[in-house]
Amino acid sequence: MKKMLLVLSICFATILTMGACDLFGGSSLDLKWTGFDDFEGSTVYVVLKNTSENELVAEAETVIDADGNASLSIAGGSGGANMLYYYVDGNDNGVCDTNGSDVLRWETLSEDIVGRSMQYFSLTDDDPAVADHFN
Ligand SMILES: [Ca+2]
């Protein structure tokens, strides 16, 4: 009987673990940005939230390189669709500003996505509501 309970416990724990790894197909989410030539050396701050529960899944940051590119890899978490919010701290003050100095964007991510490449063109596509997720 004890052996059977042990086997059931292991099976249950495995199922729970597998469920927790469903996000991004059980791997990681690879994010890439290009076109940030005017923001070399600035930090990109990222928040990933579960869409249905508005829960924080991950926070991360990366720095824009000399070619205007940035990349980041976020490990898998709980399942479900997610929203990616990010801003480029254009004035390097560590605060998400809505005065035109920072780039404020969001992306919708399906639960099975493994990567997203984003191209920056101009500040005109900014969404000031993104600041609500950082400040
Ligand atoms: Ca700023």
Distance 134 CA to ligand 1 centre (A): 11
CB-CB contact of 7 with 45 (8 Å):
no
pLDDT tens-digit series, residues 1-36: 555 444 444 434 433 343 344 456 557 889 999 999
Backbone angles phi, psi at 133, to 5 degrees: -90, 0
Distance 25 CA to ligand 1 centre (A): 33
Distance 41 CA to ligand 1 centre (A): 13
- Tens of pLDDT along the chain (135 residues)? 555 444 444 434 433 343 344 456 557 889 999 999 999 999 999 999 988 777 898 999 999 999 999 999 988 655 567 899 999 999 999 999 999 999 999 999 887 788 889 999 887 889 999 999 998
Domains and CATH numbers, the chain: 2-133 (2.60.40.10)
DSSP state letter for 38: G
